[in-house]
Chains A and B, each alone.
Chain A
C-alpha cells in the first residue's frame, strides 16, 4: 500500500516548501503546523486500519520485493510510536507559535523541525537496518542544528557534545550493520530475524548486537551513555527541548524493543539481566541527580533518564504484560515530559534573563498561579498519582513486575517514584510558593500556555479513559512477542 510512505513524505515536502517561504514567516509557521497535523491525522487513520484488520501495512519502495528493496512497515508497534512522536511535535509547533524566543524566527527553524519529524517517523517506519541508520542520521543532524540554534550562551557547546557522541554512535552502528551483513547477507529486519533463527548466532552476531544495543542506548540516553543529555536539554529552545526529551529519546526504546524481540530471543539470559541492571542504576541515579541539580530544565533531563530507566526495566522483564507496560509508559511519559518542559520554558521565558536556573526562577511563579496548577498536575502524572495517565502506566508496570515476581526491582522502583515526587515538589515550592528575591526583575509577558494546557488535557483524558491506549499497547506487545507475524508481513509466506 503506497500510502504508508506519506507520514514520511508529508513532513519532507513541508520542509522543502518551508525553505522557499523565506519572506513569509507567518505562512511558514502555520504551514509547518498544518503539515504536521495532516501527517498526524494520516498516521492515525493508517494505524486505525492496522488495529482493525490486525494486519501490518507494508510498502516496498520502488517496487522491489521485500528482502531486496527497502521496506516500510506500519505495524502495531511502529504505529503507536509514530503517533506519539507526531502528536508531541504538533504540540511543540503550537508552543513555537506562541513563543517569544528569538531563534524561532530563523528562516531554517521550521524546515529543520520538519526534517526532524521526517527522520523520526522514518526510523520508526522503516524495516531495513541501513535505512534506519540513514533516517537516524537525518534526525541527529536536524536535532543538533535545532539545539545549536539556541538563545542560551553555551548552546553550541551542548550541541557539539551531542553531535560528537552521535557521530561516534553512528560509526559504531555502521560497524554493527556491516557485521550483520557479513554474517547473514541481508539487512532487511524481517529477513535477518528469519536467518538468525535458522542459522543460529554466527561469529560476528553478538558483537554486532552489542554495537546496535549501545547505539540505541546512546540515542535513548540510557544510564552509562546519558552524559550528553542534561546539557542539551538545558540549553536548547523550549519546543526543541520538549521534542528531544519526549520523543527523540524514545528512539532508543523503540530500537531496543525491536532488536530484542526480533534478533535476540535466543540470547535472553545475556541481555535481560544487563538491561535490568542498567535500568535500575539509571532510575536511582537519575532520581538523585534530579534532586541535586540547580536548573529546572536540567532537573527534567535527569528525570527523563530515570523515567527511561523504568521503561528499560519493563523491557528487561520481557513478559507480555511488561512489554505492554513499556509501550504505554513510553507514550504517557512523552506527553508528561513535553508538558513539564513547556511549563519550565514558560516560567523561564518570564524571567529577565530567560534562564531556567532555580536561583533565577525562585518566586517567579507567583504572578502565574495557573501555570503552577498545571505544573502540579503534570508532576502528579510523572509520579503516577491516580486520575492521570502516569498512574495507568505505573499500574501496568508494577502489575507486570508483581506477576513476574521481581520484588527487589519493584522496591527500587517504588523508591524512585518517591524521588520523583521529591524533586518535582521541590521545584514547585521554589517557583510558585517561595517569595521572590528582591531586585530580580521579571517581564510581564512570556510564551503562550496553550500547548501545555492541551497536553495536560490529554494527560488527564488518558488517565480517566485509558482503554484505547492500553488495548493498543496490548496489541503491540502481542505483536512483539510473535516475530513470525512481522516476518510474514514483510516477506510473505
Chain B
C-alpha cells in the first residue's frame, strides 16, 4: 500500500510540475490542482500507515494516526475555496484579455 501511495505522489507531483510550467493558463491551474492532491496524499503517508487498527476502537494493536486525515480534510476544504476563487479570476481575465496565454496577461509591465 505504501509503495502504491509513494508512486502516486511521485507521478502526481511530476505531472503537476510539468503542467504549471505550461504557458496555457488553464493547464497551469490544472497543474496546481494536481500538486494539491499530491501533497494531500503525501500528508496521508506521513502518519496513517504506522498502524493498521482504526484510531478509536477497543481492538488491540498499533493505532493508526488520525491526525493526517484531519489535516487533509482541512487542506481539501481550503484548496477548494482557493480553486473556486482562482478559477473565477481566470474567467474574468480570459474575458478581458481575450487570451489563455500566460505571457499575454502582462499589461502591467508598463
**Which residue on B lies nearest to A166, using beta carbons?**
B82
A163 adjacent to B35 (CB under 8 Å)? no
Bound Cα distance A175, B96 (Å): 34
Compute how far the CA of A209 lies from the CA of B43 in the bound complex, rounded to whole angstroms: 16
A235 interface hit (Cβ, 8 Å): yes
Residues of A within 8 A of B (CB): 130, 134, 137, 141, 144-145, 148, 153-154, 156-160, 163-164, 167-168, 170-171, 174-175, 177-179, 181-182, 185, 187, 231, 234-235, 294
Contacts of A158 in B (CB 8 A): 108
Alpha-carbon distance between A187 and B79 when the two chains are bound, in angstroms: 20
Give the distance in Å from the alpha carbon of A340 to the alpha carbon of B97 in the complex: 32
CA of A181 to CA of B82 in the docked complex: distance in angstroms? 24
13 A-B Cβ contacts within 8 A? A130-B74, A141-B82, A148-B89, A156-B96, A157-B93, A157-B107, A160-B86, A171-B35, A171-B79, A175-B42, A178-B42, A178-B46, A181-B67
Which of A174, A182, A234 interacts with B108 by CB under 8 Å?
A234
Task: Using known A-B contacts A168-B20, A174-B75, determine if residue A156 contacts B92 with beta carbons closer than 8 Å.
Answer: yes
A137 touches B78 (CB 8 A): yes
- With A171-B39, A181-B47 already in contact, the answer to whether A160 and B89 are too (CB < 8 A) is yes
Q: Which 6 A-B pairs have the closest CB atoms?
A: A182-B46, A178-B43, A178-B46, A231-B108, A181-B46, A160-B89
Say if the beta carbon of B85 comes within 8 Å of chain A.
yes
Chain A residues lying within 8 Å of B8, measured Cβ to Cβ, are none
Interface of chain B: mostly helix, strand, loop or mixed: helix
C-alpha gap A174/B45 in the complex (Å): 13
- Chain A residues with Cβ under 8 A from B61's Cβ? none
Task: Tell me which residues across on chain A come within 8 A of B74, comparing CB atoms.
Answer: 130, 134
Whole-angstrom distance between the alpha carbons of A486 and B45 in the complex? 30
A156 and chain B: residue at smallest CB distance: B92
B28: nearest chain-A partner, CB-CB: A164
Expressed in whole angstroms, the Cα–Cα distance for A175 and B9 within the complex equals 11
Q: Are B71 and A130 in contact (CB under 8 A)?
A: yes
Contact A179 B85 (CB under 8 A): no
Which residues of B pack against A, CB within 8 Å?
20, 28, 32, 35-36, 39, 42-43, 45-47, 67-68, 71, 74-75, 78-79, 81-82, 85-86, 89-90, 92-93, 96-97, 105-108, 110
Nearest CB of B to A257, in Å: 25
Q: What residues of chain B lie closer than 8 Å to A159, measured between beta carbons?
A: 89
Q: B86–A164 contact, CB under 8 A?
A: yes
Question: Cβ of A294: which chain B residues have Cβ within 8 Å of it?
Answer: 110
Contact of A178 with B39 at beta-carbon distance under 8 Å, contacts A160-B86, A160-B90, A231-B108 already known: yes
> Nearest CB to that of A175 among chain B residues?
B39
Closest to B37 in A: A171
Chain B residues with CB under 8 Å of A144's CB are 85
Question: Which residues does chain A contribute within 8 Å of B28, judged by CB atoms?
Answer: 164
| Cα–Cα distance between A181 and B72 once the two chains are bound (Å) | 13
Q: Are B78 and A134 in contact (CB under 8 A)?
A: yes
Bound form: Cα–Cα A175–B40 in Å: 8
Residues of B within 8 A of A174 (CB): 39, 43, 75
**With A144-B85, A178-B39 as contacts: A160 and B108 at CB distance below 8 Å:** no
Q: Report the bound CA distance from A185 to B86 in whole Å.
A: 33
Please determine whether B20 and A182 come into contact, CB atoms closer than 8 angstroms.
Answer: no
Minimum C-beta distance from A356 to chain B (A): 13
Q: Considering the chains assembled together, what is the distance between the CA atoms of A167 and B89 in angstroms?
A: 13
Q: Is the CB of A167 within 8 A of B107?
A: no
Residue of A nearest to B92 (CB): A156
Query: Residue on A with the closest CB to B82?
Result: A167
- Do the beta carbons of A171 and B47 come within 8 Å of each other? no
Closest to A235 in B: B108
CB closest chain-A residue, reference B107: A154
CB distance from A98 to the nearest CB of B (A): 27
Among B32, B78, B79, the one with the most A-chain Cβ atoms within 10 Å of its Cβ is B78
Closest to B70 in A: A130
Q: Which residues of B contact A145 (CB under 8 A)?
A: 85
Among B36, B74, B81, B108: residue with most chain A CB under 10 A? B108
